[in-house]
Amino acid sequence: MANFALTGLFNKFYGVVIRKGDLLMNLSYRKKLKDLSSLLLFIAPFTVLYIIFLLFPLVQGAFYSFTDWNGISSNVRFIGLANYIEAFTNDKRFINSLIVTGKYTVATVLISNVVGLGLALFIENSVKIKSMLRTLFFVPYIFSLVVVGFSWKFIYTKIATNIYQLTNIGFFNLDFLGSHKIALISVIFMSVWHGMGYYMLIYIAGIQSIDQYILEAATIDGASGWKKFRYIKFPLLMPSVTICVFTCLAGSLKVFESIFVLTSGGPGYATETIAVNIYNEAFGSANLYGYGTAKAVVLALIIMVVSFIQLSYFKSKEVEA
Amino acid sequence: MKKLMAFFLVVVLLLTMAAGCAKSQAPVSTPDGQNQTDQTDSKTDSNDSTDNEISATITYLTSQPLYAKNSDAINEELHKVHPKINVIIEHISDNYEAVLKTQMASSNAPDIFSWQGYLAMVPFVEDNKVADLSNESFDSIVFPNFLESGKKDGRQYGIPTIMQSLGLLYNKDVFEKAGITEIPRTISALKEAVEKIKAIGVQPFTSGLKDQWVCYDLFWFAQTPVMDDMMGWYNAMNEGKASFRTERTEKMFELFDFIYENSGDKPLSSDFAEMCHQLAAGTAAMAVQGDWAYEETQKIDPNANLGMMGLPVSEDPAESAIMADSAEILFVSEQSENKEAAVAFIKWMLSKEGAEYLGSITKTPSTSSLKPVIELNPFAADANKWVNDGNKAVPFAWNFWAPGIMDVVGKNIQAYFSGSITLDEFFEDLDNQWAKTVN
C-alpha cells in the first residue's frame, strides 16, 4: 500500500502516467526512480552541510534577534520586537551606518561595473598584449581582501606621504584615512581596484560570446564604433551586466573585511557600514548580542529585497540576438 | 553490490561529519581501555607523591603578548616548581572579547583568562562563568588593595597580577636638546615646553588616534584625574543624575585640542605602533599612553632614552597625574576541569620566583606582596618613582564605566577630532549611551 502511494508520488513528480501491467512503462519508471535516488544521494552531502552550517544558524540567529541575550549569559529573555524598534527609532549609529552603506554600495556598483566594462572593451580591442593585460588587471582579485587592506593602509599613510615629500604634489598629502570627508572615498577606491578584474573577466566572456556576424552586419550597415557598442554589444551584454551588478550589489551591502582592516569604521563613524556596526554591537564591549542579531536580520532582508528588485528589473531588460 | 558499497560509504561519510560536530565531553576510550588506565595512573600518582603534585595541561588566554612569545621558557621555569603542569599560553591582540565569548559559548573556554575587574567582570560573575577564588588565600601573596579590583560582593573572582601605568610618555633626549630642564606640571608649563620643542624642529606630540583604544585612554584623563568625588559621580551617573559634561571635563577638552593641534599633519592617521616608533626615534617628543608602549618602542631603538610623567590637567602642579592600576586580572573558568592546576599556576605567577621571572620578561611591576626584585622598563620605573614620591596617581577610568561605553568613547573622540560632531553632541551622545547601557 505504502509502495503504491510512493508510486503515485513519483508519477506526479515525473508527470508520467503508468498503466498497470505495461511492462515497458514500468521499466522506464524504475529507471527514473533509480535516477532520482542517485540524484538525491549526490546532493545529500551538500544539503546536509547546508542545513547544519547555514540554515540552522540562520533560524537560530533569527530567534536570538527577538531576545536580549548578551552573548555570555545562559539566561535568554524573549523581548519581542523591541530590538527592531530600537534600531529604527533610537539608534543614530545604525541609521548612519545605513546611509554609509548606501553611499558605498551605489558608488562601488557603478564605478566597478563601468571600469570593468571599460577594461573589457579596451582589452578586447588591444590585440597584441591581450592576455598580459588580462592577467595584470585580474591579479588584485586573487589576493585576500585582508592582505589588500593592509597594503592599502600602508600606501595611504606611508607611501603617499613619501611621494608628497619627493614631489610636493598636494594631492598626496591628503589625510586619506584620517579625514571623515575622504576616508569613505579611499575605501571605495580600494574596493573598486580589488574587484574590477573579476567584473572585467565576466564582461570579456560576454563580449566573446557575441556572434561576430551581427557585428559584421552592423559594420556593413555603416555603424560607427560607439553605435555598435550602444545598440549591439551593450544590449547583448545584458546577461553579464545582470550577473556583475548582482554580485557587486550583494557584496557591497554586506562589506566588512576591507573596511575593518582599513579604518575599522573610523574616523568616528565616517566609514561604519552595517556589517561593521553589527560586529561592534554584538562582539564589542557592549555585549548586545541579541540586538546585533536583529540588525543582521534587517541587513539580510535589505540584501534580499534589493537583489530581488535588481534581478527582476535587469532580467526584463535582457534581449536575445 | 558496488552500489550498495557506495551507499554504505556515503552513509559513513555523513556520520563522520555529524560526529565532528558533536561535543567531545568524555575522553574517547580506545578499545583496550588505554586511556582509562592512563587516567587512573595519573590519579594514583598524585595521591602517592608526598608534595601533592598536580598533573594537568591548562590553557591560558592572555592580553600580554610577551607571555605567549616566551611560552616555552615560562613552562621550563614553571616545571622547577610544578613539574607536571603544562601551560598553553595563547595571546590575542585584536578582538580579544569576541574570541573569548566565542570560546565560552562553544564550551571551550580557556582554563585561565585575563579580563578587566570591577564592573567589567560582572556579567561573567553573574552568569557563573568564573570560579570563586575566595578560599584560595591570595591575600597572603598579593597586596590587598590590588585585590579589590577582582572582588564582587566580598567574594574574590579575579586575581590582578601586574601593575600598569598610563601617563605622558616623553623622549628625554629631545627634552634635553630643547633645553627643558624641569618636567612640566601645569598646562602653561606644558605649553611653554611645546614651544621649545617646536623651536628645535621636533613634533611636540604623536597621537596614535587611529586606534580607538588609544582614543579612550586619552579620554580617561578627563575622568578620574579631574574628579573630586569619583565614586559619587559614577553612582549619580548610574542613577541618571549626572553628565559627562562638567566644567572640568570641558577644560580638559581644551587641553586635548591643544595636544591634537600639535600632533603633526594627520593625527587621525597615526596608530599606536607609529606613535611608539616616532617617540623612540625622537621625531616626536611626547605621547599620552601607557608603559605597555615599551615593547613597541624597542623595535625602533632599544637604547632610546624614554620616560613617563604625569599629565598636567590644570594650573595646579599637585594635580598633574598618572594613572596606575592593576591589570592582567586573571579568572579561572567555572567550566574548567583543571581548576586546581590553574590556581597553582596563578599562585606560581605571584610567588617570588615566578613574579621575578615573569618580570624579567615584561619589565612590569608585579602585584605580588612577596617583594620580587624586578628590573622595570623606563616607563614603569618612572611611574613607580612618581607614585613613591607621593605624586598624584588615580585608577583607570574604564573599571567604573558602564559596559559598552568604551567603544562609544573611542569612536566619539575620533568623530570629534575629525570634525564630524561637535563637543555638545559628543557629551550628549555619551550621556545617552550610558543611560541606555545602564538600563
- Going from the C-alpha of A273 to that of each of A85, A184, A187, A276, the distances in angstroms are 20, 10, 11, 5
**How many percent of chain A have pLDDT more than 70?**
91
Fold classification of A82-317 (topology level): MetI-like fold (1.10.3720)
Q: How does residue B23 score in pLDDT terms, banded at 50, 70 and 90?
A: very low
User: Cα separation of A297 and A279, whole Å?
Assistant: 13
Chain A contacts to B (CB-CB under 8 A): 41, 44-45, 48-49, 52, 70-75, 90, 92, 156-157, 173, 175-180, 264-270, 272, 280, 283-288
A46: closest CA of chain B, how far (Å): 10
Q: Give pLDDT tens digits for B242-282.
A: 899 998 999 999 999 999 999 998 899 888 999 999 999 99
Pick from B395, B229, B127: nearest CA to A75? B127
**pLDDT at B387 > cutoff 60:** yes
Tell me which residue in B123, B127, B419 faces A180 most closely, judged by beta carbons. B419
Measured CA distances, B81 to B42, B70, B207, B342 (Å):
18, 18, 44, 14
Closest chain A residue to B103, measured at CA:
A72
3-state secondary structure chain B: CHHHHHHHHHHHHHHHHHHHHCCCCCCCCCCCCHHHHHHHHHHHHHHHCCCCCCCEEEEEEECCHHHHHCHHHHHHHHHCCCCCEEEEEEECCCCHHHHHHHHHHCCCCCCEEEECCHHHHHHHHHCCCECCCHHHCHHHCECHHHHHHHEECCEECCEEEEEEEEEEEEEHHHHHHCCCCCCCCCHHHHHHHHHHHHHCCCEEECCCCCCHHHHHHHHHCCCHHHCCCHHHHHHHHHCCCCCCCCHHHHHHHHHHHHHHHCCCCCHHHCCHHHHHHHHHHCCEEEEEEEHHHHHHHHCCCCCCCEEEECECCCCCHHHCEEEEEEEEEEEEECCCCCHHHHHHHHHHHHCHHHHHHHHHHHCCCECECCCCCCCCCHHHHHHHHHHHCCCEEECCHHHHCCCCHHHHHHHHHHHHHHCCCCHHHHHHHHHHHHHHHHC
The mean per-residue pLDDT over the stretch B224-241 comes to 85
Q: Residues 279 to 318 of B: which have CB under 8 A from any A CB?
A: none
| Residue in A with minimal Cα distance to B104 | A72
Write out pLDDT tens, residues A310-321: 999 998 888 776
Tell me: pLDDT of B50 over 70. no
Contact yes or no for B414 and A267 at CB 8 A: yes
How far away is chain B from the Cα of A19, in angstroms, using its nearest Cα?
A: 29
B403 → closest Cβ in A73, A178, A286 = A286
Compute CA A268 distance to the chain's CA centroid, rounded to the nearest angstrom. Answer: 26
Question: Which residues 97-136 of B have a C-beta within 8 angstroms of A?
Answer: 97-98, 101, 104-105, 120, 123-124, 126-127, 129
- Which B residues, 19 through 48, put their C-beta within 8 Å of a C-beta on chain A? 21
Residue B15 — very low, low, confident or very high, per pLDDT cuts 50/70/90? low
Give the integer Cα–Cα distance in Å for A64 and A54. Answer: 15
Model confidence at A274, pLDDT cuts 50, 70, 90, reads very high
The residue in chain B having the minimum alpha-carbon distance to the alpha carbon of residue A69 is B123
Range among A21-35, B251-265, B394-408 with highest mean pLDDT value: B251-265
* Residue B26 pLDDT exceeds 50: no
Cβ pair B287, B214 in contact under 8 A: no
pLDDT of res. A90: 83
| ipTM of the complex as predicted | 0.76
Interval B208-217 mean pLDDT: 90
Query: What is the pLDDT at residue B28?
Result: 39
Question: Where does the pLDDT of residue B16 fall: very low under 50, low under 70, confident under 90, or very high at 90 and above?
Answer: low
Distances (CA, A) of A58 to A55, A63, A277, A296, B182: 5, 9, 19, 10, 62
Query: Chain A residue with minimal CA distance to B126?
Result: A73
Contact A176 B265 (CB under 8 A): no
pLDDT at residue B127, as a whole number? 85
The residue with greater pLDDT, B5 or B165, is: B165
Weakest-pLDDT range from B194-203, B275-284, B393-402: B393-402
pLDDT at residue B37, rounded to an integer: 38
Measured between beta carbons, the chain B residues lying within 8 angstroms of A79 are none
Tell whether the model's pLDDT for residue A15 goes beyond 70.
Answer: no
Please return the burial class of B424, using the count of CB atoms within 10 Å of its CB with bins 0-12, 13-18 and 19+: exposed
Q: What is the pLDDT of residue B85?
A: 92
pLDDT above 80: residue A39: yes
Is the pLDDT assigned to residue B201 strictly greater than 50?
A: yes
Rounded CA separation B308/A266 (Å): 29
pLDDT at A246: 94
By Cβ distance, the residue of A74, A90, A285 closest to B407 is A285
Q: Which residues pair with B308 in a beta bridge?
A: B169
The total number of residues written for chain A in this structure: 321
Checking if the pLDDT of A57 tops 60, the result is yes
State the best of B4, B100, B101, B269 to mutate against chain A, taking most chain A CBs within 10 Å.
B269
User: What's the pLDDT tens digit per position in B322-344?
Assistant: 999 888 999 999 988 999 999 99
How close, in Å, is residue B380 to chain A by CA atoms? 27
Show the domains of chain B with their CATH numbers: 53-163+326-378 (3.40.190.10), 164-324+381-438 (3.40.190.10)
Question: Is B265 within 8 Å of chain A by CB?
Answer: yes
pLDDT at residue B342 in the model: 93
B144 — contact with chain A (CB < 8 Å)?
no
Question: Which residues in chain A have Cβ-Cβ distances shorter than 8 Å to B418?
Answer: 178-180, 267-268, 270
User: What are phi and psi for residue B345, nearest 5 degrees?
Assistant: -65, -45
- Shortest alpha-carbon distance between residue B421 and chain A (Å): 9
Identify the H or E element spanning A50: helix A23-50
Using the predicted structure, report yes or no on whether residue A170 has a pLDDT greater than 90: no
Q: For B194-223, what is the mean pLDDT?
A: 92
Mutate to test the interface with B, among A38, A49, A72 (most CBs of B within 10 A): A72
Average pLDDT, chain A: 86
Q: Where are the domains of chain A?
A: 2-64, 82-317
- Tell me if B98 and A283 make a contact (CB, 8 A cut-off): yes
pLDDT at residue B46 is higher than 50: no
A-chain residues near B407 (CB < 8 A): 280, 284-286
* Partners of residue B113 on adjacent β-strands: B61, B331
Banded pLDDT at B232 (limits 50, 70, 90): confident
For residue B17, is pLDDT > 80? no
Rounded to whole angstroms, the Cα distance separating A262 from A273 reads 13
Tell me if A78 sits within 8 A of A69, measured CB to CB: no
DSSP A51: I
CA distances from B109 to A56, B60, B248, B322 (A): 23, 9, 43, 35
By Cβ distance, the residue of A44, A175, A284 closest to B407 is A284
Interchain CB distance below 8 Å, A285 and B265: no
* Contact state of A179 with B418 under an 8 Å Cβ cutoff: yes
Instruction: Provide the mean pLDDT of chain B.
Output: 85
A-chain residues near B120 (CB < 8 A): 285
**Better-predicted residue by pLDDT, A288 or B163:** B163
In the prediction, which pLDDT does B4 show?
A: 65
What is residue A26's predicted lDDT score, i.e. its pLDDT? Answer: 66
Tens digits of residue pLDDT in A254-266:
999 999 999 888 7
Q: Does B406 touch chain A (CB under 8 A)?
A: yes
> B438 touching A, CB under 8 A?
no
Q: For residue A98, how many C-alpha atoms fall within 13 Å in the half-sphere facing its CB?
A: 13
* Cβ-Cβ contacts under 8 Å, B127 against chain A: 72-75
Asked whether B118 and B402 are in contact (CB, 8 A), the reply is no
A115/chain B closest Cα distance in angstroms: 29
Cβ of residue B8 closer than 8 Å to a chain A Cβ: no
Helix H or strand E segment including A154: helix A145-154
Is the pLDDT reported for residue A171 higher than 80?
yes
What pLDDT is attached to residue B212?
A: 87
A268 and B403 within 8 Å at the Cβ level: the answer is no
Whether the CB-CB separation of A72 and B104 falls below 8 Å is answered with yes
- Which of A104-118, A136-150, B137-151 is predicted with the least confidence, judged by mean pLDDT? B137-151
Closest CA to B21 of A58, A74, A53: A53
Give A258 or B119, the one with higher predicted confidence: A258
pLDDT at residue B234, rounded to an integer: 85
pLDDT band for position B8 (50/70/90)? Answer: low
Q: How far is CA B156 from CA B125, B144, B327, in A?
A: 10, 11, 15
Q: Please list every residue in chain A whose beta carbon sits closer than 8 Å to the beta carbon of residue B415.
A: 180, 267-270
Please give the pLDDT value at position A240.
93
What is the tens place of the pLDDT at every residue in A63-100?
Answer: 989 988 877 777 788 888 888 998 898 888 899 999 99
